């Protein structure tokens, strides 16, 4: 009996995995949308993007600039660009909700993170430093507003 239960569980897991893989293979992307507002050029390949809902997306190109949209599929005019920080970069960005975004990066030579409770506004972002341990934060993921995990060079992990 145990053997049949184990076989049934294995078959169910295989079917679930196949359905998940099939759903993931159906994704497709639009043609590139150039974003050039206020003299800010289009996004480069480094950086990241996060969309906590279908009505808000926030992206960065690895510089201290972000682009936001409350209508991400609305074309070029639906995106607004702005500068975050004074002199630095944003390495990655994660938005667990429409009222919180966290980005890793640096500003004025200090490693740290940017946060915003109103991510659509470039002027609403603030910068905080981390302990000076010589590690650059390179990536961030926030499954909720209560937990963010940031990766750093030299195999370091930081949690909020």
pLDDT tens for the chain, 160 residues long, are: 434 333 333 334 344 444 444 444 687 776 666 665 444 444 444 688 999 999 999 998 888 888 899 999 998 899 988 888 777 888 899 999 999 999 988 888 888 888 999 987 766 888 888 766 556 778 899 999 999 998 887 778 888 8
d(CA 58, CA 23): 24
Q: For the purposes of burial, counting CB atoms within 10 Å of the CB of 64, is it exposed (0-12), middle (13-18) or buried (19 or more)?
A: buried
Nearest one of 96, 89, 111, 125 to 158, comparing CA atoms: 111
Nearest one of 75, 66, 70, 71 to 94, comparing CA atoms: 66
Model pLDDT, residue 147: 93
Q: Are strands 79-83 and 137-144 parallel, antiparallel or unpaired?
A: unpaired
**Token digits for 154?**
């030299």
42 DSSP assignment? P
Nearest one of 72, 110, 68 to 93, comparing CA atoms: 68
3-state helix, strand, coil in the chain (%, to 5): 20, 40, 40
- Global pTM reads 0.71
Asked if residues 133 and 155 have their Cβ atoms less than 8 Å apart, the reply is no
Q: Which CATH superfamily is domain 48-159 in?
A: YVTN repeat-like/Quinoprotein amine dehydrogenase (2.130.10.10)
- Cβ contacts of 46 within 8 Å, gap of 6 or more: 61, 62, 91
Asked if residues 36 and 42 have their Cβ atoms less than 8 Å apart, the reply is yes
């Amino acid at each position: 009996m145990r053997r049949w239960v184990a076989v049934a569980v294995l078959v169910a897991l295989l079917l679930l995995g196949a359905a998940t893989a099939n759903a993931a293979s159906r994704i497709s992307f639009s043609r590139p949308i150039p974003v050039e507002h206020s003299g800010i050029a289009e996004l480069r390949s480094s950086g990241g993007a996060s969309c906590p809902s279908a009505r808000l997306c926030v992206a960065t190109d690895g510089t201290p600039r972000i682009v936001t949209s409350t209508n991400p599929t609305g074309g070029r005019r639906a995106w607004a660009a702005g500068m975050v920080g004074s002199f630095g970069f944003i390495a990655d960005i994660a938005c667990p909700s429409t009222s919180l975004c966290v980005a890793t990066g640096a500003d004025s030579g200090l490693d740290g993170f940017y946060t915003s409770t109103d991510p659509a506004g470039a002027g609403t972002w603030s910068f905080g430093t981390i302990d000076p341990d010589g590690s650059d934060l390179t990536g961030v993921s926030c499954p909720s507003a209560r937990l963010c995990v940031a990766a750093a060079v030299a195999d370091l992990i930081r949690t909020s």
